[in-house]
Structure 1
Amino acid sequence: MRDSLMALSRRSTAFLPAMGLIVVVIGMMFLNSRFLSLGNLENIGRQVSINAIISVGMTFAILTGGIDLSVGATMALTGTLTAGLLASGVSGVVAIVAGIGAGMVFGLGNGLCIAGLRMPPIIVTLASMSIARGLGLIYTNGYPVTGLPDWFGFLGRGTILGVQTPIVIMALTFVVAYVMLEKMPIGRYIFAIGGNEDAVRLSGIDARRYKVIVYLVSGVTAAIAGILLSSRLMSGQPNAGMGFELDAIAAVVLGGTAISGGRGSIIGTLIGALLLGVLNNGLNLMNISPYVQNVIKGAIILLAIFISRQTRPGAR
């Protein structure tokens, strides 16, 4: 039985996370009767959508053997920038494009430093995290941005054909990411860079260009998440997004993506984000202390990394 499970997990990195999600959902059903209520499921969907969108960009970065610690701060900056422009009377299209553009600038900057200057991803994105957070606080003087137009709330609170708008946007983001990683040449190159970047270079492929694209994607997804969060709160919060980079990394790792790169899937990341969201929600319903929740989540992440190492090809 154990051998067959190992074989399945080696063929699909999303298999074990999917089994884990099923087990957690069943457990929460028995532990709390409110878990399957429509209101609670909608709440889980809203919470998961933001982290899942950020996790898309984080998946791209980790697949190449890198990481992006700036996503939370970029999310705060882009959200406050969009909110500030809307509050000042700028048109919605211009404000949203400017917010996404700011995310692209940070993603591009990270990519150029990492790929072009060969600087360590953890150092570059740690520095850009500080820069983005500082710029957001400077732009707002440390105060929330309010007075946003009513229509803006549709992005974070509205519904499309009965489905919450953030969930629809999350689904579209994952579809685009799936096509890029599974159906286009760029996906093969991203996996190959994470597996053996030197071999990619020797084969004549410009690995640097694809690494820049990876961090550009991460910047864009962080910006989308930031705009959605500002819409949901109907304010631009310069301190928003703190710790979101850790949740994104957790979702990616729980989804079966190897932290060293080269192996994983975008479907696994979605499952990981759902697993994390269900776990957070269930622990809150059971009135578990937030401090204890951090310990539980940390232990689960360590377990996920251990299982990932045991099930990868060639593991003993």
Structure 2
Amino acid sequence: MAEATLRFLRMRRWVWPLIGILLLWVALTVLTARFSLYSLSGVAISASFLLLPALGQMLVVTTGRGNIDLSIPGLVTLGAYVSVMTSTGTAAGFCVTLALIVGGGLAIGALNAVLVLILRIPAMIATLATGYILATATLIVNARIGMFQRPDALAFLSVGRIGDMPVILIVAILACGLAAILLMRSAYGRKLFAVGQSQDAARLAGVKVGRVIASTFIVSAVLSALTGMLLSGYAGGAFLEMGAPYLLQSVGAVVLGGTLISGGSATALGTLLGGMLLVMIVTTMQIAGLPPGAQDILQGVVIILVLAAAGARLSDR
């Protein structure tokens, strides 16, 4: 029985963040006497905005070799600024904004892929450099930002509700479902796992390794830019450092969700639950009155502990 349970947990690593969510929910309910299902809904909304860049980060991490996309914060912020600057408040204007944001994400993702695959720059350094370029671009356009005419379509996606269900949560669930199908039911998912487990073996099996890795950086960039657009609709504008929290949190959601940092295995549901767990951890620290700097430190400590535990499990194989 114990062996079967361990096998179940090893195959379904998303169970661990789910257990963490339930434990924290109970603890917060006891401590505050007011943390309810409605409060958990607020956590789910915050986690929904985190999910899109986290899914992109998950794909990049799954390719292995320490690949991480550090340009996510810059993409999120720039996506928000592009949305504010190009929006006319009309449906046609929203389509133009969406096209610009997707096109920009494709171009920046392709740039990251070129830096990593052709120029052979380590992913963390390449994407960090791209992030600095994006931050500089945001500073330049910041002085030109004007009033934001939020389109109805963007308002519906970011703050709308269908009944009692936030639309952004529905978007997150659909994105998670599509990512799960992509990973577990498609040839692309099998190729991605093969690349993460061994690039040499994947090449021998006929997998176009470069194309698979490039696709993850491109998808990550597009999802991050779209997140910036959604955040601009939610916040009613854009501001500098808007995407800053998503650097640590996108990695944290991936790691806490059970995706192997060494590559070769990922779980979309785990990433969603990992994001919710991370948001609940932040919520707990905010209720405790910890300053933002201490919150960042504790988030980093939690991620380090999870990575250390994952490394211990790998070394025992």
Superimposed CA distance per residue, residues 218-248 of structure 1 (whole angstroms, 9 cap, x where no aligned partner): 0111012111110011112243101311110
- Preserved contact between residue 51 and residue 273 of structure 1 (Cα < 8 Å): yes
Distance in 1 of aligned mates of 2:164 and 2:228 = 23
Q: Structure 1 residue 78 and structure 2 residue 75: aligned?
A: no
Rate the CA distance shift 1:187–1:197 in 2: closer, same or farther, 3 A. Answer: same
CA separation in 2, counterparts of 1:2 and 1:105? 50
Contact 2:53 2:250 in 1 (8 A): yes
Superposition CA RMSD, Å = 2.2
Match of 1:61 in 2: 60
User: Does the Cα contact within 8 Å between 1:145 and 1:237 map onto a contact in 2?
Assistant: no
Equivalent in the alignment of 1:232: 234
Counting only pairs closer than 5 Å after superposition, residues 1-12 of structure 1 correspond to structure 2 as 6-12=6-12
Q: 1:126 aligned to 2:128? A: yes
The answer for the alignment partner of 1:92 in structure 2 is: 94
Give the letter for the 1:188 counterpart. R
What amino acid maps onto 1:63 in structure 2?
Answer: T
SS of match in other structure, 1:9: helix
Which residue identity is paired with 2:86? L
TM-score (norm 1): 0.91
Q: How far off its partner does 1:261 sit? A: 1.0
Whether the 8 Å CA contact 2:101–2:222 is kept in 1: the answer is: no
Cα separation, partners in 2 of 1:5 and 1:27, compared to 1, 3 Å:
farther
Equivalent-residue separation in structure 2 for 1:177 and 1:145 (angstroms) = 36
In 1, are the aligned partners of 2:14 and 2:269 still within 8 Å (CA)?
A: yes
SS class of match (1:91): helix
Aligned residue identity for 1:19? I
Q: Which amino acid aligns with 2:40?
A: L
Q: 1:263 aligns with which of 251, 265, 273?
A: 265
AA aligned opposite 2:130: S
1:19 corresponds to 2:19? yes
Output the amino acid matched with 2:84: A
Q: Does the CA-based 8 Å contact 2:84-2:145 persist in structure 1?
A: no
The answer to whether residue 264 in structure 2 is matched with residue 253 in structure 1 is: no
TM-score of the pair, normalised by structure 2 = 0.91
In structure 2, the residue matched to 1:277 is 279
Matches within 5 A, 1:130-169: 130-141=132-143, 145-149=146-150, 151=152, 152-169=154-171
For the 8 Å contact 2:89–2:150, the answer to whether it is kept is no
CA distance in 2, matches of 1:72, 1:228: 14
The equivalent residue for 1:35 is: 35
Residue 260 of structure 1 aligns to which amino acid in structure 2?
Answer: S
**Structure 2, unaligned stretches of length 5 or more?**
none
Q: Which moved more, 1:67-76 or 1:106-115?
A: 106-115
Number of equivalent positions: 313
Give the partner amino acid of 1:72.
P
Contact 1:87 1:145 in 2 (8 A): no
Q: Relative to structure 2, which stretch is displaced further, 211-220 or 255-264?
A: 255-264
